[in-house]
Structures are given as C-alpha cells and as structure tokens.
Amino acid sequence: MDTDPAADAVFESVAELFALLSTPIRLKIIGALCNTEKNVSQLLAEIDTTQPNMSQHLSTLYRAGVLGKRRDGTQIYYRLQSERVAMLCRAVCTQVAIEMDPEAEVQPGDRLLPLGAR
C-alpha cells in the first residue's frame, strides 16, 4: 500500500493544529480575543483559571503563531494573529452549539458530535 507524502504532511499538520486546539481553555482564549486584544488580567476576568495556567496556554498559542502580542509599559496585550484559526474555531464551535440545542434537527450525516454526546 503506497502512501502519498503530500497527503501525509497535510494530515500531520492538521493533527498538530487539532492538538493545539484540543484544550477548552485555549478555545476560550481564542474566543475572548476574536474581536479585540486583551491583557492577561482582562483574560483572567473572563476565563476561570490561574494566572500561571493562563500564561502557559498564552505562551503555547503564541509560539504556534495563533496569537500575537505587544508590550505597553508593564502590560502585555495579546491578539489573534491567525484569522484562519479563528474561522475554524468559530465554525466548529457554532456547529457543536447547534447540535447541542435540543430543538435542533441535524441529520446524522451532518453531525460533528456522536449521537449520544448531547
């Protein structure tokens, strides 16, 4: 069985992206930064976690190129650097929210969630 190196590289890259986005707090950070930049204190006011944990996730997203940052005095402001990642998160989170709505009628073939995951 032959494998296509180009396809393998694509699947590997997508798996790395999904691994990066597999933590709920990182999705919350991306959501919080969708429309405006914020500093760590502002993010902590919106997202229930510790400051060290927040800093670790911000650093991971920054190193991956998802977030950008700038310093203003003693504050560091983070912003979404990758609009593609934002669009992907928005699309998936919107679809999952629709599927979790008990009133929604989503055909089995169109679902992202397993049928029992409501």
Q: What is the pLDDT of residues 75-106, one digit of tens each?
A: 999 999 988 888 888 888 888 888 888 788 87
Structure tokens at 5: 């190196």
> Please, what's the b/e burial string for 28-60 (b: 16 or more CB within 10 A of its CB; e: otherwise)?
bbbbbbeeebbeeebbbeebeeeeeebeebbee
Please state, rounded to an integer, the average pLDDT across all residues of the chain.
Answer: 89
For residue 2, what pLDDT is reported?
63
- Is 54 contained in some domain? yes
For residue 1, what pLDDT is reported?
56
- Is 118 contained in some domain? no
Q: Span 15-30, mean pLDDT?
A: 93
- Is 100 contained in some domain? no
pTM (2 d.p.) = 0.81
**Structural domain for 27, as ranges:** 5-81
Q: How far apart are CA 90 and CA 111, in angstroms?
A: 16
Q: How far apart are CA 27 and CA 40, in angstroms?
A: 15
- Is 90 contained in some domain? no
| CATH number of the domain residue 30 falls in | 1.10.10.10
How many domains does the chain fold into?
1
- Is 13 contained in some domain? yes
